[in-house]
Amino acid sequence: MIDKVPKIKWASEEQTRFRYLDDQEERALLAYWKGHGDQDMYDLCVLLIDTGARCYSEMMAAHWEFYGQDFVSVTFWHTKTGKPRTIPLTKRSREILRRRKGIYGNHSGPFTMVNKNTMRHRWDHMRSVLGFHDVTPHTLRHTCCTRLILGGADVKRVMTWMGHLSIATTMRYMQIRPDDLNSLIGLLEAA
């Protein structure tokens, strides 16, 4: 037993900065893979940016049957949260998948033949050449989420797209729009 309840100082939640690629960094990353003739990494990076998928457990593990007819969508069945999610695919992603189906159709999926250890080695080399020391494949997931938020998508739809279980997870990305409150002034002045 204790004589009195101890005082507990609650720490506030620290705002973390999510590393994401801006348009210029994306162009540099994709140009690097093109310049090195690494079509697998180029294609994988585009799909990761455009879907927000987790690299190893979702995108690289996705089988051909996970994709909708004519590659209009993809369903990630095995997710971190245990809940599958289906998202639409961009035009450039659909074109990549059609091309890869023609080349790798005999494999179980578009990226199932990519070796994780070889990929990590290639990724490390890219980071040292481009100076992207803090960029990981997961950065491309952050890039997708950030672009959706900056593009004005509502938080609930971004939460669904990303497969977040809690809206609090998605809300952490809202800190990238600190001046967005200015857009609300017009709503008040119109009243």
Token digits of residue 6: 């101890």
Nearest to 173 by CA among 89, 28, 52: 52
Cβ pair 48, 32 in contact under 8 A: no
Q: Is residue 155 part of a domain?
A: yes
The whole-number pLDDT of residue 113 equals 95
DSSP 25-73: HHHHHHHHHHHTT-HHHHHHHHHHHHH---IIIIITT--GGGBPGGGSE
The whole-number pLDDT of residue 19 equals 87
Q: Is residue 123 part of a domain?
A: yes
The whole-number pLDDT of residue 38 equals 97
Q: Is residue 10 part of a domain?
A: no
Q: Is residue 5 part of a domain?
A: no
Cα(55)–Cα(140) distance, rounded to whole angstroms? 9
Q: Is residue 188 part of a domain?
A: no
Cα(147)–Cα(20) distance, rounded to whole angstroms? 9
Token digits of residue 144: 């997708």
Q: Number of folded domains in the chain? A: 1
Cβ pair 144, 48 in contact under 8 A: yes
Q: Is residue 157 part of a domain?
A: yes
Nearest to 21 by CA among 119, 124, 137, 120: 137
Parent domain of 157? 23-177
The whole-number pLDDT of residue 11 equals 59
Residues of the chain with pLDDT under 50: 14
Q: How many degrees, rounded to 5, is the angle at CA 102 between CA 99 and CA 105?
A: 120
Q: Is residue 71 part of a domain?
A: yes
Q: What is the CATH number of the domain that holds 131?
A: 1.10.443.10
The whole-number pLDDT of residue 120 equals 94
User: How many alpha carbons fall within 13 Å on the CB side of residue 91?
Assistant: 0
Cα(54)–Cα(3) distance, rounded to whole angstroms? 50
Nearest to 65 by CA among 93, 86, 36, 40: 86
Q: Is residue 140 part of a domain?
A: yes
3-state secondary structure (DSSP) of residue 17 = coil
The whole-number pLDDT of residue 3 equals 80
pTM of the complete model = 0.85
